[in-house]
Structure 1
Amino acid sequence: MLRLPAFLLLLPGLTLAPAARADEAPEAPKYEPREHYTKYEYRIPVRDGKKLFTVVYLPKDAGQGGKTYPLLMTRTPYSCGPYGVDRDGIRRLAPSEDFLKAGYIFVCQDVRGRYMSEGTWRVMTPHLDAKRGVQDVDESSDTHDSVQWLIDHLPGNNGKVGLWGISYPGFYTAASIVDSHPAIKAASPQAPIADYSQRDDGYHGGALMLAHNYGFYAAYRPQQTPTVEPKKWTAFDYRDRDAYSYFLRLGNLDAIASTFAGADPDKPATNPFFTELVEHDSFDDYWRARRLPEHLKNIHAAVLTVGGWYDAEDLAGPLAIYHAIERQNPGTPNRLVMGPWVHGGWMRGIGQQLGAIGFDGRHSEWFQKNVLLPFFEQHLRGGADARLAEATVFETGTNVWRRYDAWPPRQAVRRSFYLQAGGRLAPGAPGAAEAFDRYVSDPNRPVPFIGYTALGMPKDYMVADQRFAATRPDVLVYETEPLEEDLTVAGPVGVELFVASTGTDADFVVKLIDVWPQDAGPEPAQPPRDKPADVEPPKPNFGGYQQLVRGDPLRARFRHGFDKPEALVPGRVEALRFELPDVNHSFRRGHRLMVQVQSSWFPLIDRNPQSFVRIRSARPEDFQVATQTVYRGGAQASRIELRVVDPAKAQAAAKP
């Protein structure tokens, strides 16, 4: 999850144009929100007596002559500052300037236990289905009480409330509409966390998302409340330029956890949130209490869930939230949008490029104007029908928007591709004879997840060229012949591997890759984000480019369930069945499908010692070399399963 979400970042400021020539119309004056809104700060009491700090920007004419406005509210653990005197903070609360001009009562609330709000903050607050008294509180109850107070006390409100938020605020948006207050008419959880331990920020396939969580918890710490924002935000000092060497040198997770520094970087301090994450390394009661989807019931608000295909933090969350609401709230308007964005990119960037891959359009602006604003206008102000499809999803590869009446599309057909001899990948099942490929995995020389030196988790790793990995002896590579027709894949990618190991534990990372033709030329020039259109970026040569489409691991100790860690028996063949997160990608004619299989992906995920020990405290001698065998014959034919859509049957929306 991005820990400084989009609504906490100032939108790019408008610049004044040079003086107009005599034959040109003068440019419209810059919109100044402070001329139209007044800031107020409140401490709203909730049922257990705690007070939640809330910032309100009220239109100056609210209540005058019967003028009313809807409320648009976000709840955040990242501060509703700047506190006190207004410094144009309203721009941090409005999804876009169009919302400012349309006129809303903008509300921001510090959630319980963060910054200026009282109480105790908890990781992904557990929802309480049965509340026995005023001391039983959760995000739903805090929101219910706050909404009632706002409706009762703010002049000129029309009695309708919308909720929205990105990342952790996306979680709070989703959690707030369980048993929703009747005034909440619309909600848009964006990049929401649904289950921290299952393919969202914390763990993927039982493996810790190390680089991301370490980077986040270096800045996110417990705090005494109330407290204001620091005068200066300081970046964590890795004292290194390469996360790969940094984490490898530190060793196990306990050692890594001990490196968090306070104000004095020479005095190590642990972060209890990171330690808590590492401690709960299986799906235990701690995570069961924090899993949100099964609680998403009794929702009366219209819901628009938003995510990005290249969200390295919370790709799975929006899909899980959408499906849970769809399943448990029949009749509730429930829509899904998935675009060509990184985490929160629909609010922070243009949405036309990631790394070397271009998307042929300003998709963020299109979404803001044609989807998000019409959604809230319809449900909070009685505006025109936004006419949103059940699923509005961007198709990468072809770079078009598709409108489906379900996600995954009902017309998708399952099609298997099998690992074959000679590194081939083909639809036909291999012969009955036993066949296999082997590689040696050394946890002290893990496969990197990017082919260049960097700190943290670069977002463009999700489309990065995988040729650096394909040349390693500890990575198996399988690819199809060049495609004769486009192959469009929509939905989760199934994986079935038959494996054996000489160790007692192992990770198996599977990557689905789009291989460009050898004669592919440079991409058309696209202006880099926030640069003038006449500045051309470098033109990469795409001949043979191996573009990552999707990848994920499974830690073999969890092959029978994430709550049931179990050692491998050396030499015994095991079936590993899991899914890679959803895609909506078209492999173009002349391209190839490629699958890579490996046993490390460092430091995106933590190292598996390949021995069945407590990973967080593994000793140097526990990190053991192991030979991994992947079977591809007879009843042990390893494969991937794709959901294929005939492009001729897919309804394409007009390209924005």
Structure 2
Amino acid sequence: MLIPASILAQSQNLQDSAWIRDNYTKTETYIPMRDGIKLFTTIYAPRDKTEKHPVLMNRTPYSCAPYGSTRWRNLWDPYWRYYFREGYIIVLQDVRGRWMSEGNFEDVRPFNKNKKGKETDEASDTYDTIDWLLANVAGNNGRVGVFGISYPGFYSTMAAASGHPALKAVSPQAPVTDWFMGDDFHHNGALSLMDGFNFYAGGFGYPRPLPTTVGPRNALIIPRNDNYQTFLNIGALPNFMKLTGDSIAFWKDLYNHPNYDSFWMARDARTAMFNIKPAMLVVGGLFDAEDCFGAWNLYKAIEKQSPGTDNRLVMGPWFHGQWGGRGDGSSLGNIRFGSRTSEWYQNQVELPFFNYHLKGKGTMDSLAEATIFFTGRNEWQTFKTWPPANSRQRSLYLLPNGLLAWTKPLSAKAGTTYTSNPAKPVPYTEDVHFNRTREYMTDDQRFASRRPDVITFQTEALDRDLTLGGVLTADLHVAISSTDADFVVKLIDVFPDEFVYADDHEEDKDYPMGGYQMLVRGEIMRGKFRKSFSNPVPFKPNQPDQVTFNLPDVAHTFKKGHRLMIQIQSSWFPLMDRNPQQFMNIYQAKDSDFKPAEITILHDSMHPSAIILPVLE
């Protein structure tokens, strides 16, 4: 009789749990920082005394619970158990001002390059923690690594900037990097309304005056059945502020800094990426709805600002944190990737990376500069540089009648017009739900194609494979009837009408994959920032203008017989906040300020709108 996989996994977890408890100790302590503030730290240390052990640390604002020396975190469930088997000293720490640590918390605390005396930042807190661990944890081998996903990815980045000589390897994963340009809460100046409001008002943003083991509770009572209608009913951004009141500091900061000013510039983690000493492994997901920008762009910043650093990049076909034990990485939504990509990464990339740098075990010969999973062809590819040396920027032009071609338009005057109505914004997904889905990153876009406020351009069926790898740029020529508008550009893979997965099981046939319009990349640009994110400027109504912006890097093969599609729209709700389509501070807009606008995407010989694709040759 076959034993179900779930039962086998549960049995393995019980064995790992028993082994770890038998072979490790748990200690809780406070570690003093240079300014006297103490940070709560949990240390899981091996009982084995026959050899020295490396330290692997995770600094987090999300708690190193459970608290109490006899209560253990389920670290045997995710792939952390591999590090226990390897004999690592595992350290978890509540960052300054969170949970049981002392001090005041500050979101994405700015890096202080020229610290003096007892001045602190997240880099110095990491430095002081490492110093204490090396002096007080018996049996360590003097080598330390730091890793973390999402917000802990930001703290990993700051650790890399600490300059501590014992810090040998750091892996920022889905790292929070720039919260205005592309991570989590803004994309090109547009507010990620649903994520931002749910994150801060959902509990994270509420103050914690004293150290505590009890997390904050969401006191807001709002409908939780249909996020599209709920967020539309709440209305303009000041109405969201009325719901939260003055209790959430960073939510107020968002409203007080509508443009890319010194506040945001100081919170760009890339400003710390100079003279980086430890080996770096930057990891991210191609379909990470939160910090895809951070992974691509942190890697590039290290390459540019610390060219001598051993800096490597891995991007898999994952949602946010999926590679860290939240699924095997074989699929996302309706799209399949053909292998258990998360497990491959864990065993073939991350564990060997830390083993080599912290234990002197194995080699780095098999780990390339860039290890990237290409969807469509569903294969891992390795490169000596990213973007790849054989990537060529080629313009694919928008033409009349919804066509795309490699040649410029010849028409003297041509454009496609749609009406953008903020009262009926384009939804980001077809489904009805309250929480933002992670699957929308590969969702079928046929629902959007059918709307009159979404315009569509596509190629003929491809006569050969087309592989894209690198920076993707939208270069639009526009004319609008108002003084501001948003521009959402989506890169879509249109499957053949007869497409089915070869290994379809009966239960998989409910969703029609023939003609599927897979979202490969999508990004928004707030039009008023087209010339400057610091000094926005209005459009002149009905006058031609140019809007150019980058989408997150792409790694995808459009297979022979597929079509490449571009969709353009001016709302993406409630994923992103609505634009009143009047030039103003949107954080101060009233419900009455939201007006329909006529949007024209020009595509003639004088105004050749195009999508600039990174074609691998």
* Same fold, TM-score > 0.5, yes or no: yes
Q: Is the 8 A contact 1:116 1:225 kept in 2?
A: no
User: 313, 328, 335: which is aligned to 1:350?
Assistant: 328
User: 43, 46, 51: which is aligned to 1:56?
Assistant: 43
2:394 equivalent in structure 1: 415
Q: Is the 8 A contact 1:352 1:361 kept in 2?
A: yes
Change in 2 beyond 3 A, CA 1:324/1:92:
farther
What secondary structure sits across from 2:225 in the alignment? coil
Show CA shifts across 1:510-557 (max 9, x none): 11110111111256347xxxxxxxx95454221111111101111111
2:136 equivalent in structure 1: 153
What secondary structure sits across from 2:82 in the alignment? helix
% identity of equivalent residues: 44
- Whether 1:635 and 2:588 are equivalent positions in the alignment is no
User: 200, 210, 213: which is aligned to 1:229?
Assistant: 213
- Whether 1:171 and 2:154 are equivalent positions in the alignment is yes
What secondary structure sits across from 2:266 in the alignment? helix
Moved more, 86-95 or 630-639: 86-95
Q: Is the 8 A contact 1:187 1:301 kept in 2?
A: yes
Matches within 5 A, 1:430-441: 430-441=409-420
Show CA shifts across 1:133-169 (max 9, x none): 21x2111111111100110111000000000000000
> Aligned partner of 1:291: which letter?
D
1:228 positional shift: 3.0
Q: Is the 8 A contact 1:219 1:236 kept in 2?
A: no
1:600 equivalent in structure 2: 571
1:614 equivalent in structure 2: 585
2:531 equivalent in structure 1: 560
Show CA shifts across 1:160-216 (max 9, x none): 000000000000000111142000000111000111111111211211011111121
- Whether 1:116 and 2:100 are equivalent positions in the alignment is yes
Aligned-partner Cα distance in 1 for 2:7–2:176: 26
Aligned-partner Cα distance in 1 for 2:60–2:449: 42
User: 503, 519, 532: which is aligned to 1:524?
Assistant: 503
Change in 2 beyond 3 A, CA 1:461/1:308:
same
> Aligned partner of 1:162: which letter?
G
> Aligned partner of 1:366: which letter?
W
2:188 equivalent in structure 1: 205
> Aligned partner of 2:387: which letter?
P
1:637 positional shift: 0.6
Aligned-partner Cα distance in 2 for 1:75–1:125: 14
What secondary structure sits across from 1:89 in the alignment? coil
> Aligned partner of 1:78: which letter?
Y
Question: Which stretches in structure 1 are left out of the alignment for 5+ residues?
Answer: 1-10, 18-26, 261-267, 527-534, 647-656
1:190 equivalent in structure 2: 173
Q: Is the 8 A contact 2:314 2:372 kept in 1?
A: yes
Aligned-partner Cα distance in 2 for 1:168–1:370: 24
1:628 positional shift: 0.7
> Aligned partner of 2:269: which letter?
L
User: 324, 339, 346: which is aligned to 1:361?
Assistant: 339
Aligned-partner Cα distance in 2 for 1:12–1:408: 43
> Aligned partner of 1:137: which letter?
T
Change in 2 beyond 3 A, CA 1:371/1:522:
closer
2:272 equivalent in structure 1: 295
Aligned-partner Cα distance in 1 for 2:160–2:501: 47
2:27 equivalent in structure 1: 40
Change in 2 beyond 3 A, CA 1:259/1:310:
same
RMSD (Å), alpha carbons: 2.1
Q: Is the 8 A contact 2:199 2:205 kept in 1?
A: no
Aligned-partner Cα distance in 1 for 2:410–2:170: 52
1:252 equivalent in structure 2: 236
1:492 positional shift: 1.7
1:298 positional shift: 2.0
What secondary structure sits across from 2:83 in the alignment? helix
Question: Which stretches in structure 2 are left out of the alignment for 5+ residues?
Answer: 1-5
What secondary structure sits across from 1:541 in the alignment? coil
2:3 equivalent in structure 1: none
Change in 2 beyond 3 A, CA 1:358/1:238:
farther
Q: Is the 8 A contact 2:206 2:247 kept in 1?
A: no
TM-score (norm 2): 0.95
Aligned-partner Cα distance in 1 for 2:30–2:77: 18
1:359 positional shift: 0.7
Aligned-partner Cα distance in 2 for 1:359–1:269: 45
Aligned-partner Cα distance in 1 for 2:342–2:230: 35
**Aligned pair count?**
608
Moved more, 406-415 or 326-335: 326-335
What secondary structure sits across from 1:241 in the alignment? coil
TM-score (norm 1): 0.89
1:282 positional shift: 1.1
Change in 2 beyond 3 A, CA 1:369/1:225:
farther
Q: Is the 8 A contact 2:97 2:211 kept in 1?
A: no
Q: Is the 8 A contact 1:440 1:627 kept in 2?
A: yes
> Aligned partner of 1:384: which letter?
G
- Whether 1:314 and 2:291 are equivalent positions in the alignment is yes
- Whether 1:371 and 2:349 are equivalent positions in the alignment is yes
- Whether 1:397 and 2:380 are equivalent positions in the alignment is no
Aligned-partner Cα distance in 2 for 1:482–1:542: 16
Change in 2 beyond 3 A, CA 1:31/1:102:
farther
1:321 positional shift: 1.1
Q: Is the 8 A contact 1:117 1:225 kept in 2?
A: no
Change in 2 beyond 3 A, CA 1:235/1:512:
farther
Aligned-partner Cα distance in 1 for 2:504–2:433: 25
Change in 2 beyond 3 A, CA 1:455/1:88:
same
> Aligned partner of 1:47: which letter?
R
